[in-house]
Structure formats: structure tokens, C-alpha cells
Amino acid sequence: MTMITISNPMVAAAAALGVNSYAVTDRELTTRFREAVERRNLAPFRLGHFCFEVQLPAIAAINVSRHFSGQTSTWVGGEASKPLFTGFHRRGKEGDLYHADSTDFERRADMVSGFGDELFTELTAAGVNPTEARQVQPMSTGTTLIASGTFVDFYELLRSVGPVEANAHPDARAFARNCWTHIQSACAPLVQVFEEVGP
């Protein structure tokens, strides 16, 4: 996963609150951020922007796009995605998928996925527009997702798909948590305030 800080959210938020972030201590900065969040004044925290690029299965990219209030862009990548059922969890629990009646769902999913990829190749070889032909590819097809948004956008994404209990794709959940980890290393005082107070 690649992260680009387009504009530093801590510096931008401090400036919007009338504070020079380079002239005050982290403690004073955290206090000012906490006061703003407690007053539900989130406008200063919508000034800094992050951009993340990651490879996900198409279904996970759709899941992220549905819950993310920032901007997203996707395109089908050349890398193969993980097998369809590897790492899937039962709703609300971490663990392996239970194979009822010893049916090999993974083998069947790989077979169906292979049919979609073969049909896509045949359609494009026959001259069909690749964008239209992608409709036959499975939802596990590797997709590049670019998500660009503010600190608040990524905080809301974490709250929407981050918890284990949420009806979220495991890869979408991992993406939200990884984004937040990267943001935490870049903006520790701001993350601390949002995790303690929460809008």
C-alpha cells in the first residue's frame, strides 16, 4: 500500500484554529484539537488530505467505495487476486470458513473464476471493448483502488468497515485499518483526540 500526504492535516487544522503548530507543544496542540472535536467543529480537520493506493479484490474495492466519503478511483490490475474463499470469516467472528457437507467451495470458486477470466480473454480477442468485457470477470479480480480524502473521511471509513462485527469484506476492513495505522504515524496527537473523544 502506498500513502501520499497531500497536505498535513495537523498543520492545516492548527492554522484553522489560529495556532502555529510549530510554535506550541504537542500537549497544547492536542488540547486545542480536543476542544474543537468536543464542540463538533470538524471543519479544521477536513483541510488536510491523504491519498492511498492498494491492490484489492473488486468486491473489497466496491465495499470501500460504498463507505468512503472521499474520492475513489478503481481499475482492473494485472495481478491475480487471492483465491476467492481464503481468509473469509463468519459474520462477527474471525476464523476459517466452515465447509458444510465437506463441499470443496474453494475448488468450485477457482473453477468459476477461471471461466470468467477465459471468457474475458476470448471477448477482448474478438474485439469487444475491454471495459465492457470486464463485466464477465469475477468479483475476486485484482483491482487497483486509489482513495483520496481528508482525515475525517478516513476516520469515518475506519468506523464503518473497521470493526470485526461490521458487514465488511475482510480486505476492505484490512485496508481501513492499514490507512488508519499510516495516518496514526503521521498525525499521532490528532488520532489520539479522535480515538478518545470521537465526533
Distance of CA 166 to the CA centre of its chain: 14
pTM listed for this prediction: 0.80
In angstroms, rounded to a whole number, what is the distance separating the alpha carbons of residues 39 and 81?
Answer: 44
What does the pLDDT read at residue 6? 77
Contact between 37 and 193 under an 8 Å Cβ cutoff? The reply is yes
Q: How far is CA 31 from the centre of its chain?
A: 29
Could you tell me where the beta strands, DSSP code E, fall in the chain? 2-7, 49-57, 71-76, 142-150
Burial class (CB in 10 A: 0-12, 13-18, 19+), 161: buried
What cell was used for 32? 486545542
Looking at residue 102, its pLDDT comes to 43
Query: Which is it for the CA torsion 21, 25, 26, 32, positive or negative?
Result: negative
In this prediction, residue 101 carries a pLDDT of: 44
pLDDT values of the chain reduced to their tens digit, one per residue, 199 residues? 787 877 888 888 888 888 887 788 888 888 999 999 999 999 999 988 899 999 888 888 889 999 999 999 887 765 555 555 555 555 555 555 555 544 566 677 777 777 888 888 899 899 998 878 888 888 878 888 999 999 999 999 999 998 876 688 888 999 999 999 999 998 888 899 999 887 6
Q: How far apart are CA 63 and CA 28, in angstroms?
A: 38
Cell of 85: 474463499
Among 54, 34, 72, 61, residue whose Cα is nearest residue 153: 72
Quote the pLDDT of residue 157.
94
Q: What nine digits make up the cell of 168?
A: 465488511
User: Cell for 15?
Assistant: 492554522
